[in-house]
């Protein structure tokens, strides 16, 4: 059983179990209120699932890509929750969770996933079905591009939300497979927006 | 009840701070700064600071627990800076604190950063004599790269009043900008301090913002450093245009004198006006030798008792946030719950958020 958190779009939290599936999921789509809602959502899914912290085997966290400010809130909460609970933290590319949800149980075929990167750009990833472990096979991405630069695909999902339940189920499959999880580094895909300060004259 | 064991998290600017206190006893004060990453930009870049907080928070937590020799299970409460500060930076701390609170079930207090600077005075580093209790009321002058505030503290956890603050740049920001004008590196405070050695503070008289009678009516306890910075820039540009060498030591000393004088004149006036013969300094600018010396001089002359926490507790840190948290627990105040957010403009009257 594990706790899953994603804040790469809105904020989504779930408790999932490999054998019993999704035990609880709670989400807030508002993409400006991550810091306000993340604690209550965690508390809500623990209560609803009846899971005690000591029964959790790991925390899964969406590492993005996603707008930075919100993404960091979920990642910070997941890191400290795992630290305090003394359990491992597993990174999951948030697009992979979207792809898993889109493919369902026995997905195949090419799939393009995009999410909003703001500033008239999109994050995108391209998938080629599920592998033998039931994990989405990411063929390209995640990457950042203008809408007109994104490759076409027979099937495309422009997602506005990421389900922590899908993310958690994906992490459970990765864990069961013994495959290494993704590194727990935020996928910003953009450098901090800074310009070097040039001293300006104040007198003309 | 024995003194509460509280862990505090601070991420309002460029320092990731985690502190642990038992009441007023300081057990750990871990600070991880992203200052060097900002140096090439000449000031704190919010996105760079926020990214660094996420990287630093877990190692800082581990190190603080190790230093204090405790585990999460030993704690009585958690505290985190809820504001004021940089929104994206604050949110990392708030998210981290909520992860801890939900994993441990500990009560969580969202604390005011400025009140934290006052709370720092309650603490002393390990091995040092515990400080006498904070005499209330006290006037507090908090000066850093992010804020310049004058407070009347009647009770640390229930009654803090903002008397005045900067209406433009923070004093520390002015140091950074003037350092850049003089071609000195970031952060400007220590550089200006070094450059001013041997300079004549009276050689160039720079303006003292908001000290003339017409300004005092409206801004008796407010500060302004933007005009001062421009005056320095003008003076230096003129000298360069005329092909004269810039007397860096005199410019630095004259600028520093103007800042120190305005800060202390207003702080002492606040003490006298309120009939409170106590002044507490806080914030990174306290490290400035001239500011400290003038504070001692002016307070001695006016019969004001001056308190300056050790420098490691004056700059932003998590221990000061934990100290306020411990004060709130001891006073029996309810925790903030889990639904508060980061408030970049949190008023100082809100010691803890609800
Ligand atoms: Zn501060």
Nearest Cβ partner for A77 among B41, B51, B96: B96
**Residue entry with tokens 């760079």:** B48
CATH topology of domain B138-309: Nucleotidyltransferase; domain 5 (3.30.420)
pLDDT of residue A131: 92
Q: What is the DSSP letter of B44?
A: -
Residue A70: partners with Cβ closer than 8 Å, 6 or more residues away:
A7, A8, A9, A10, A11, A31, A32, A34
Distance to chain B for A91, nearest Cα, Å: 15
Look at B91 and A72 and tell me if their CB atoms are within 8 Å: yes
Annotated binding site for substrate: which residue ranges of B? 142-146, 176, 189, 193, 288
Tens digits of per-residue pLDDT, A37-65? 999 999 999 999 999 999 999 999 999 99
C-alpha–C-alpha distance, residues A136 and B153, integer Å: 58
* Beta-strand relationship, A110-116 and A156-158: parallel
User: Best residue in B73, B89, B99 to probe A by mutation, most A CBs within 10 Å?
Assistant: B99
Ligand 1 mean position, distance from CA B156 (Å): 16
CATH number of residue A122's parent domain: 3.30.420.40
Kindly state whether residue A191 falls inside one of the protein's structural domains: no
The band of A170, judged by pLDDT with boundaries at 50, 70 and 90, is: very high
Helix axes B87-104, A34-49, angle to 10 degrees: 20
Kindly state whether residue A76 falls inside one of the protein's structural domains: yes
Task: Give the residue from A26, A139, A126, A138 showing the smallest Cα distance to A92.
Answer: A138
| Angle, alpha carbons B31-B32-B38 (nearest 5°) | 130
Residue B180: partners with Cβ closer than 8 Å, 6 or more residues away:
A197, A199, B42, B186, B188
Query: Which ipTM did the prediction report?
Result: 0.96
3-state helix, strand, coil in chain A (%, to 5): 30, 30, 40
Q: Helix H segments across B242-349?
A: 248-274, 289-302, 311-314, 318-330
Kindly state whether residue A201 falls inside one of the protein's structural domains: no
Residue A195 has pLDDT above 70, yes or no: no
pLDDT of residue B311: 87
Count of the separate structural domains present in chain A = 1
Q: Which residue of chain B is at minimal alpha-carbon distance from A43?
A: B102
Distance to chain A for B45, nearest Cα, Å: 7
Total CB pairs under 8 A between chain A and B? 133
Residue B336 backbone phi and psi in degrees, to 5:
-80, -10
Kindly state whether residue A168 falls inside one of the protein's structural domains: yes
Look at B101 and A76 and tell me if their CB atoms are within 8 Å: no
Kindly state whether residue A74 falls inside one of the protein's structural domains: yes
How much of chain A exceeds pLDDT 90, in percent? 86
Q: Which residue of chain A is at minimal alpha-carbon distance from B233?
A: A202
3-state class (DSSP) for residue A200: coil
Ligand 1 mean position, distance from CA B97 (Å): 19
pLDDT higher at B119 or A182: B119
User: Best residue in A39, A41, A88 to probe B by mutation, most B CBs within 10 Å?
Assistant: A39
C-alpha–C-alpha distance, residues B105 and B72, integer Å: 10
From chain B, pick out residues whose CB is under 8 angstroms from the CB of A55. none
* pLDDT digits (tens), chain B, 354 positions: 589 999 999 999 999 999 999 999 999 999 999 888 888 888 889 999 999 999 999 999 999 999 999 999 999 999 999 999 999 999 999 999 999 999 999 999 999 999 999 999 999 766 677 667 778 899 999 999 889 999 999 999 999 999 999 999 999 999 999 999 999 999 999 999 999 999 999 999 999 999 888 888 899 999 999 999 999 999 999 999 999 999 999 999 999 999 999 999 999 999 999 999 999 999 988 888 899 999 999 999 999 999 998 888 999 999 999 999 999 999 999 999 999 999 999 999 999 998
pLDDT of residue B130: 65
Kindly state whether residue A147 falls inside one of the protein's structural domains: yes
**Residue entry with tokens 């925390």:** A59
User: Best residue in A6, A42, A73 to probe B by mutation, most B CBs within 10 Å?
Assistant: A73
Residue A196 has pLDDT above 70, yes or no: no
How much of chain A exceeds pLDDT 70, in percent? 96
Ligand 1 mean position, distance from CA B32 (Å): 14
pLDDT of residue A90: 96
Instruction: For chain B, positions 10-49, list CB contacts with chain A under 8 A.
Output: 40-43, 45, 47-48
Task: Give the residue from B202, B180, B203 showing the smallest Cα distance to B191.
Answer: B180
- Kindly state the tokens that stand for B42: 């000449």
Look at A76 and B104 and tell me if their CB atoms are within 8 Å: no
Q: What is the DSSP letter of B32?
A: E
Range of the domain at A23: 2-177
- A174-179 average pLDDT score: 91
Annotated binding site for Fe cation: which residue ranges of B? 113, 117, 316
pLDDT of residue B219: 93
Residues of chain B with CATH 3.30.420.40: 5-128+313-330, 138-309
Task: Give the residue from B85, B78, B10, B52 showing the smallest Cα distance to B344.
Answer: B85
C-alpha–C-alpha distance, residues A62 and A101, integer Å: 14
Q: Which residue of chain B is at minimal alpha-carbon distance from A79?
A: B58
Look at A81 and B100 and tell me if their CB atoms are within 8 Å: yes
Residue B343: partners with Cβ closer than 8 Å, 6 or more residues away:
B82, B83, B84, B90, B353
To which CATH superfamily is domain B5-128+313-330 assigned? ATPase, nucleotide binding domain (3.30.420.40)
From chain A, pick out residues whose CB is under 8 angstroms from the CB of B57. 76, 79-80
The band of A199, judged by pLDDT with boundaries at 50, 70 and 90, is: low
pLDDT of residue B108: 98
Kindly state whether residue A55 falls inside one of the protein's structural domains: yes
C-alpha–C-alpha distance, residues A9 and A31, integer Å: 6
pLDDT of residue A181: 84
Kindly state whether residue A200 falls inside one of the protein's structural domains: no
């Amino acid at each position: 059983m594990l706790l899953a958190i994603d804040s790469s779009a809105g904020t989504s939290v779930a408790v999932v179990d490999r054998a019993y599936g999704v035990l609880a999921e709670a989400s807030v789509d508002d993409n400006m209120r991550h810091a306000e809602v993340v604690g209550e959502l965690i508390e809500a899914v623990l209560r609803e699932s009846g899971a005690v912290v000591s029964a959790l085997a790991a925390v899964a966290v969406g590492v993005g890509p996603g707008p930075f400010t919100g993404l960091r809130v979920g990642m910070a909460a997941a890191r400290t929750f795992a630290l305090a609970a003394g359990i491992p933290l597993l990174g999951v590319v948030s697009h992979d969770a979207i792809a898993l949800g889109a493919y369902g149980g026995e997905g195949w075929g090419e799939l393009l996933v995009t999410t909003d990167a703001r500033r008239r750009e999109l994050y995108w990833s391209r998938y080629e079905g599920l592998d033998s472990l039931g994990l989405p096979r990411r063929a390209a991405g995640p990457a950042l591009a203008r809408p007109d630069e994104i490759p076409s695909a027979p099937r495309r999902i422009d997602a506005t939300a990421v389900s922590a339940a899908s993310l958690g189920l994906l992490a459970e499959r990765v864990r069961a497979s013994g495959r290494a999880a993704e590194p727990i580094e935020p996928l910003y895909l953009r450098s901090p927006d800074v310009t070097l300060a040039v001293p300006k004259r104040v007198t003309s | 009840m024995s003194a509460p064991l509280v862990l505090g998290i601070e991420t309002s600017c460029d320092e990731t701070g985690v502190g642990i206190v038992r009441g007023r006893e300081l057990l750990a004060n871990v600070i991880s700064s992203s200052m060097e990453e900002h140096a090439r930009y000449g000031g704190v870049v919010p996105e760079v600071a926020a990214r660094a907080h996420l990287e630093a928070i877990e190692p800082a937590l581990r190190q603080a627990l190790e230093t204090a020799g405790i585990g999460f299970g030993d704690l009585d409460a958690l505290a985190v800076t809820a504001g004021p500060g940089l929104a994206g930076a604050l949110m990392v701390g708030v998210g981290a604190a909520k992860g801890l609170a939900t994993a441990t079930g500990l009560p969580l207090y969202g604390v005011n950063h400025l009140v934290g600077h006052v709370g720092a005075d309650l603490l002393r580093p390990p091995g040092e004599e515990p400080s006498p209790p904070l005499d209330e009321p006290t006037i507090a002058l908090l000066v850093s790269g992010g804020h310049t505030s004058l407070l009347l503290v009647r009770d640390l956890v229930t009654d803090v009043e903002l008397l005045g603050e900067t209406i433009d740049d923070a004093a520390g920001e002015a140091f950074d900008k003037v350092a850049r004008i003089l071609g000195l590196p970031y952060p400007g405070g220590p550089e200006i301090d070094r450059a001013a050695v041997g300079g004549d503070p009276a050689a160039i008289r720079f303006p003292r913002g908001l000290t003339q009678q017409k300004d005092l009516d409206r801004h008796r306890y407010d500060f302004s450093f933007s005009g001062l910075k421009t005056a320095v820039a003008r003076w230096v540009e003129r000298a360069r245009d005329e092909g004269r060498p810039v007397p860096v030591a005199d410019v630095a000393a004259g600028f520093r004198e103007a800042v120190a004088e305005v800060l202390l004149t207003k702080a002492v006036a606040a003490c006298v006006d309120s009939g409170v013969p106590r002044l507490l300094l806080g914030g990174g600018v306290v490290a400035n030798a001239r500011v400290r010396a003038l504070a001692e001089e002016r307070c001695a002359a006016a019969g004001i008792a001056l308190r300056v926490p050790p420098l490691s507790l004056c700059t932003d840190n998590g221990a000061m946030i934990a100290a306020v948290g411990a004060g709130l627990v001891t006073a029996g105040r309810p925790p903030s719950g889990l639904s508060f957010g980061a408030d970049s403009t949190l008023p100082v009257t809100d010691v803890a958020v609800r």
